[in-house]
Amino acid sequence: MKRRLVLLGAPGSGKGTQAEMITRQFGIPVTSPGAILRREKDLGTPLGIETAEITQRGDLVPDKIIVELIEDWLRLHGSHGFVFDGFPRTLPQAESLLSILTRLRTALDLAIWLEVSEQTVHERIGGRLQCRSCGFTTSVTSAKFAERPICPYCDGPLVRRNDDDESVLRTRLQEFHTKTEPLAEFYGKMSILHRIDGNRDREEVFKDISRLIEAK
């Protein structure tokens, strides 16, 4: 079974949803730079406050900060594999991850690219909710609420993300096209890139991802 994965795609492509499904089905630890930084923000650290201001503008957090956070996480939690949700996002980040894994004497198994239309992105972002406590992501349409939006895993509050504002989304999409899309060629040359149609129902997408993980 393949246990070292990165999930790539535009904002709203379903990376967080699929990462959550992967860790529940296969027990592979999952994280994202966003999840790590939100914890820093909730703790009120200087790093958390600084990066929150950056993400609220729709800009990307500097690579140096992201790479250091990821390397620390890998040394603590990566011995049983990993799923990175939305990391790497730039070519320098991808090259840094390759260097980190080389130092740790391991290698990336899969780079899964969730392809979605911009219409899908806008529809999903417009109705996205995220747990303030654990980072679980769902939508207004798929979640079933009795009275108020509560996370089904930790009972934390489900809220709209600050960076899901329409003007911020336009900036994030521009950043994705210019800085993240070149990773397709990078991982294609390594023969580990797999493209999946992310416009479909989450269960259908997960079936395709599961086949890749379980393939010999």
What residues does 150 pair with on adjacent strands? 157
User: For the domain 4-119+171-214, what is the CATH code?
Assistant: 3.40.50.300
Per-residue pLDDT tens digits for 136-195: 777 665 555 555 678 877 888 887 766 566 677 788 888 888 999 999 999 999 999 999
Q: What residues are labeled active site? A: 15, 89, 128, 161, 172
Compute φ and ψ for 196, nearest 5 degrees: -130, 140
Mean pLDDT is highest, among 74-78, 90-94, 150-154, 174-178, for 90-94
pTM of the model: 0.76
What six digits make up the tokens of 115? 């392809």
Q: Residue type at 147?
A: E
pLDDT digits (tens, 9 = 90+) for 12-69: 899 988 998 999 999 999 988 878 888 888 888 888 888 888 878 877 788 888 888 8
Cα dihedral sign for 133, 11, 3, 208?
Answer: positive
Q: Judging by beta carbons within 10 Å of its beta carbon (0-12, 13-18, 19+), is residue 129 exposed, middle or buried?
A: buried
**Do 202 and 114 form a contact (C-beta atoms < 8 A)?**
no
- Using alpha carbons, list the distances in angstroms from residue 213 to 49, 101, 111, 118, 197: 37, 19, 11, 27, 16
